[in-house]
């Protein structure tokens, strides 16, 4: 649905998981993974998906174009592409977004004196003219244009007002106010938005949006204060991932406004008792979206994370447990089911057929190709022979694991066997298939079984790297639970992540390592496809880094 500034009667959710979120070290996604997340974001009900930075690399251009074609349908979200205030960036974004029914170009140019002096080497009049010129140029491609004055939080307010007035006059329909470095406090950020509403004469012709980083842990609080002062679009990410300490977390913002509707209603001109949703988000899709993003980016959600953390609805204190058993409202302000977190239930068994399996996956939000379905069904049958009880979370884990694909070629795990014990030397024998199709086998000794597996793989693959993180968590409770392994490796300052799930933690560890290794291998083989390449190019004085 096309969004008009005069028609906004709720808070729009602008998801930038696929752009700013992907800039988290080690969180780079391939085209298939981006599309899977975009589809889930559409189910979640986000209004705008910032699908990427088309000019940054051919791979990102292709991913944005594919999302625009598949997800950017008549009844789907607006698909947005990021661009610096340059003609080539804007042209690339416009070309990539052509297949979308509803599209938006989001261009940015810094306005703080520190950025003007040290990064752009431009004067205020030059920035003012450039911003107006590039918005007008973007307007020749489409009606929906968003402009961001980068580092607005540290910009001179009077200059910021002047820039916003000029870009709105040039055709910007959304003006985004970024706290680029996460510097502001809630009262300051609210005051900034209030000042814009009071001092930009044509502000009623555009939607005020906000974007902010969580360096001081204040991003969500800042955004909620911005809503109270007139912001009607929030730029956020699933699980709060993003540059440095991350972005404002979508799930926290949405649930804060959902749980505290009576408090926020008057700020949107509604009666306090109104039960109408403040956003278009289907909250029952929140937990599933969080899990998908966590798995595909290999960025774990900490247990005490608000809304989607493993402990968010857990109670250990006896007093709390007693209160919850008597009435859940004593210690819970929201129902776990409201975010799609249901009690584990047996949904399928080893006698279940392919049609029942496909139907259940569809209910869970998975639309698989025949090839992916076949692979997932084989994993399901294997799991059903090992576990008596298979829950929805088990199904999600094996499907997401099986449908993760790597762009390009890579190494494949054929066999892994370990020998270890308190009086034995941990030894692993590993067989992998190389990108050329050759099977190689080697054995190695390590400090433990996983270390031995990784040493053997390194000897076979011969791709230099440094393991910097290894973590394991169970999907469900029980000794037969699926174990999820997430690892991160580093090569020449860049981080590559891998994720896998299996009832055998050694197998999961080996596969997760190969997933990360394949990301590194393909980055070395195709450097122009590397999603971080644009950051290096952007370090040149005449260009700007894509960090709003």
In the predicted model, is pLDDT for residue 379 greater than 60?
yes
User: ∠ CA(536), CA(244), CA(527), 5° rounding?
Assistant: 30
Can you give the pLDDT at residue 404?
61
Burial (CB count <10 Å: 0-12, 13-18, 19+), residue 438? exposed
In this prediction, residues 23-39 reach a mean pLDDT of: 85
Characterize 356-365 residue by residue with b for buried, 16 or more Cβ atoms within 10 angstroms of its Cβ, and e for exposed.
Answer: ebbebbeeeb
Dump pLDDT digits (tens) for 357-366. 888 887 777 7
Decide which of 128 and 333 is more confident. Answer: 128
More confident residue, 386 or 145: 145
pLDDT at 405: 52
Helices 449-461 and 505-525 cross at an angle (nearest 10°) of 30
Q: What confidence tier does 536 reach under pLDDT thresholds 50, 70, 90?
A: very low
pLDDT of residue 364: 73
Number of neighbouring beta carbons within 10 Å of residue 532: 16
What is the predicted pLDDT for the residue at 9? 83
pLDDT at 451: 95
pLDDT > 70? residue 320:
no
With a cut of 60, say whether residue 322 has pLDDT above it.
no
pLDDT single digits (tens) 161-186: 999 999 999 999 999 999 999 999 99
Query: For the segment 184-240, what is each residue's pLDDT rounded down to a tens digit?
Result: 999 999 999 999 999 999 999 999 999 999 999 999 999 999 999 999 999 999 999
Q: In this predicted structure, what is the pLDDT of residue 94? A: 98
Residue 533's pLDDT is: 37
For domain 412-529, give the fold.
Answer: Double Stranded RNA Binding Domain (3.30.160)
Position with higher pLDDT, 72 vs 367: 72
**Average pLDDT of every residue of the chain:** 88
Confidence (pTM): 0.83
Distance CA 373, CA 353 (A): 12
Confidence check: pLDDT of 321 > 50: no
Task: Average the pLDDT over 362-384 and give the result.
Answer: 81
Q: Select the more confidently predicted residue: 54 or 403.
A: 54
- Across the range 121-135, mean pLDDT stands at 97
Q: If phi over 0 gives left and psi between -120 and 50 gives alpha, with beta otherwise, what is residue 537?
A: alpha
Instruction: Return the pLDDT at 124.
Output: 96
Domain positions in the chain are: 10-297, 354-402, 412-529
Residue 317 has pLDDT above 60, yes or no: no
Between CA 97 and CA 81 the distance in angstroms is: 7
538: confidence class by pLDDT, cuts 50, 70, 90:
very low
Distance between CA atoms of 465 and 456, rounded to whole angstroms? 14
* Per-residue model confidence as pLDDT tens digits over 324-342: 455 565 656 788 889 887 6
Q: Are 190 and 226 in contact (CB under 8 A)?
A: yes
CA-CA-CA-CA dihedral for 323, 327, 330, 334, to nearest 10: 130
Share of the chain above pLDDT 90, in %: 63
- Cβ partners under 8 Å of residue 423, min gap 6: none
Is the pLDDT assigned to residue 475 strictly greater than 90?
A: no
pLDDT of 381 over the 70 cut: yes
Which CATH superfamily, name and number, covers 10-297? Aldolase class I (3.20.20.70)
Q: DSSP assignment, residue 336?
A: G
Closest CA to 145 of 21, 5, 44, 1: 5
pLDDT digits (tens, 9 = 90+) for 446-473: 999 999 999 999 999 999 999 999 988 8
Of the candidates 497, 531, 495, 530, the residue with the CA atom closest to the CA atom of residue 513: 497
- Checking if the pLDDT of 35 tops 90, the result is yes
Least confident span in 94-98, 192-196, 379-383:
379-383
Higher pLDDT, 386 or 492: 492
Q: b/e map of 145-166 (b: 16 or more CB within 10 Å)?
A: bbbbbbbbbbbeeebbbbbbbb
Mean pLDDT computed over 121-141: 97
Question: Which residue blocks in 203-285 are alpha helix, DSSP H?
Answer: 219-228, 250-259, 261-264
Q: What is the pLDDT of residue 403?
A: 64
Question: Which has the higher per-residue pLDDT, 315 or 505?
Answer: 505
**Cα(255)–Cα(509) distance, integer angstroms:** 35
Q: Look up residue 10 and give its two tokens.
A: 């709720």
C-alpha neighbours within 13 Å on the C-beta side of residue 441: 5
Distance CA 390, CA 382 (A): 11
Least confident interval from 195-204, 207-216, 245-254, 487-496: 487-496
- Per-residue pLDDT for 545 more than 60? no
Query: For position 323, what pLDDT does the model report?
Result: 53
């Amino acid at each position: 649905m096309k969004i008009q500034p005069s028609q906004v009667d709720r808070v729009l959710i602008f998801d930038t998981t696929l752009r700013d979120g992907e800039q988290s070290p080690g969180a780079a996604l391939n085209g298939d993974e981006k599309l899977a997340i975009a589809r889930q974001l559409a189910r979640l009900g986000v209004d705008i998906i910032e699908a990427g930075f088309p000019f940054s690399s051919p791979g990102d251009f292709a991913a944005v174009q594919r999302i625009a074609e598949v997800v950017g349908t008549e009844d789907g979200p607006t698909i947005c592409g990021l661009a610096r205030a340059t003609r080539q960036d804007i042209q690339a974004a416009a070309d990539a977004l052509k297949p979308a029914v509803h599209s938006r170009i989001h261009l940015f140019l810094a306005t703080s004196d520190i950025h003007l002096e040290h990064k752009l080497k431009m004067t205020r009049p030059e920035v003012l003219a450039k911003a107006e010129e590039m918005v007008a140029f973007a307007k020749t491609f489409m009606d929906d244009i968003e402009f961001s004055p980068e580092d607005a939080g540290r910009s001179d307010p009077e200059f910021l007002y002047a820039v916003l007035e000029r870009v709105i006059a040039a055709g910007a329909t959304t003006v985004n106010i970024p706290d680029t470095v996460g510097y502001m406090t809630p009262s300051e950020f609210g005051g900034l938005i209030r000042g814009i509403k009071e001092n930009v004469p044509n502000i009623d012709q555009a939607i005020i949006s906000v974007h902010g980083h969580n360096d001081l842990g204040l991003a969500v609080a800042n955004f909620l204060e911005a809503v109270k002062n007139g912001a009607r679009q929030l730029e956020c990410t699933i699980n709060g991932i993003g540059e440095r300490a991350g972005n404002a977390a979508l799930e926290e913002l949405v649930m804060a406004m959902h749980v505290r509707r009576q408090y926020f209603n008057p700020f949107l001109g509604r009666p306090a008792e109104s039960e109408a949703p403040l956003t278009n988000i289907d909250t029952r899709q929140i937990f599933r979206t969080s899990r998908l993003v966590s798995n595909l980016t290999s960025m774990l959600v900490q247990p005490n994370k608000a809304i989607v953390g493993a402990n968010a609805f857990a109670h250990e204190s006896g007093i709390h447990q007693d209160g919850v058993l008597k009435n859940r409202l004593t210690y819970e302000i929201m129902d776990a089911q409201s975010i799609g977190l249901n009690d584990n239930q047996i949904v399928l068994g080893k006698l279940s057929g392919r049609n029942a399996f496909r139907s259940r996956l569809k209910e869970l939000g998975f639309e698989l190709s025949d090839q992916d379905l076949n692979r997932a069904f084989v994993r399901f049958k294997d799991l059903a022979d090992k576990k008596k009880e298979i829950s929805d979370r088990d199904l999600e884990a094996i499907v997401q694991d099986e449908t993760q694909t790597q762009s390009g070629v890579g190494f494949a795990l054929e066999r892994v066997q370990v020998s270890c014990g308190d009086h034995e030397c941990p030894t692993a024998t590993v067989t992998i298939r190389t990108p050329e199709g050759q099977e190689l086998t080697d054995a190695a000794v390590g400090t433990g079984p996983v270390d031995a597996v990784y040493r053997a793989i390194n000897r076979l693959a011969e791709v230099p790297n440094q393991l910097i993180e290894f973590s394991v968590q169970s999907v469900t409770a029980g000794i037969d639970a699926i174990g999820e392994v997430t690892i991160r490796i580093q090569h020449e300052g860049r981080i590559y992540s891998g994720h896998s799930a299996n009832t055998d933690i050694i197998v999961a560890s080996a596969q997760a390592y190969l997933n990360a290794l394949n990301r590194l291998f393909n980055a070395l083989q195709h450097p122009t496809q590397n999603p971080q390449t644009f950051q290096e190019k952007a370090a040149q004085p005449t260009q700007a880094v894509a960090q709003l």
